[in-house]
Structure 1
């Protein structure tokens, strides 16, 4: 049996040596001779399930799955397996043959499609966010033209003007990133079943995403900041 079965039916006990029966009192009991780690039986994203492994010769099934570990070309191994099966019984069919890569690919197909869809929406959202930040900062610069002209007339350097606009834009981007990360942490918990090989709260992933957002925000703020630093103070002071 696997570890989930042992924990569920023999909590706090040693399962090895116990006897179980799930077919009725008139059926023979099975003795537990070992406990193995949990595995994935239907999909890679499934929760651990209780499972029992029974001797094939004593409890054979009409449909059997054979797993063979190979080296080199899997097709060559398949031909050898077919030959061995034919020697045992020429009428036995071999069907639904897949390599591990093909099998996991089928299992991961829904998750990959979901990831592609979510990734596409994410890229679109990133572009819209960049356009939005650019529009907001351009509007801010246009509304503060006289102020910028006055600052420059009083001796403000180009770097001072650029820094003023960049700080304001990046402050908004940082606040938005913090709120977005908090919402993402909550939403990721609902997608745990679609994740494989990474946790729903993987810190590296969130750090990369946050850094990417801030870099995009910086680029979106840079153009309005650069434009503001090129304002002619005399023209800006006459602006309405």
Structure 2
């Protein structure tokens, strides 16, 4: 009976993830660096009014946001068995074209606005995320590493906003032409969440390659001349890169 129990002990140790004599313990610290793409698209709008020729004009701006390349880097630490904690910092930057539609009061006739449409090129947006997470090693056998994670995020957006649509007009002023835009940079931040999965393949003891999928979400209010503009931040992050373990 004693011999049978002795034979079972190594099997139990393996099942519970306890390293046997002669085996290296599983890595405690991991570092990952990724380049990738955020395919998520979004759109938001802004409207404002202005005084001209003793009347009130208006402008509506639509901001489409397409996919963009991203960079992120992070680290994780194993705390107890398969559970751990980690932190990832991500950066996404993009440029897009915003469309404007303005109604410009007529300088000679009341209630006779002129419609002027235009486009604002190279509207910049930069998004930085700090993602805290609890991580669980779903697989850690041989060279394969699979980690699932989730937790809170802090997202910050820096966005170019149109503040004025300029126009060109000549007598008899029945029409007006688009003449460009004035812009300003605004910033906002908000708390959100993240969930993700990470797959790594260690081709050396401390070095490997892997891929990651992370979903983040937050709604940020941008403050523009006492107007609050809600914008969606985050989305799907797909990346590939290096893995380091210690």
Question: Of the two, which has the highest radius of gyration?
Answer: 1
- Shorter-chain TM-score above 0.5: no
TM-score range, shorter chain: under 0.3
What is the TM-score with the length of structure 1 in the denominator? 0.22
Larger relative contact order (C-alpha < 8 A, sep ≥ 6)?
1
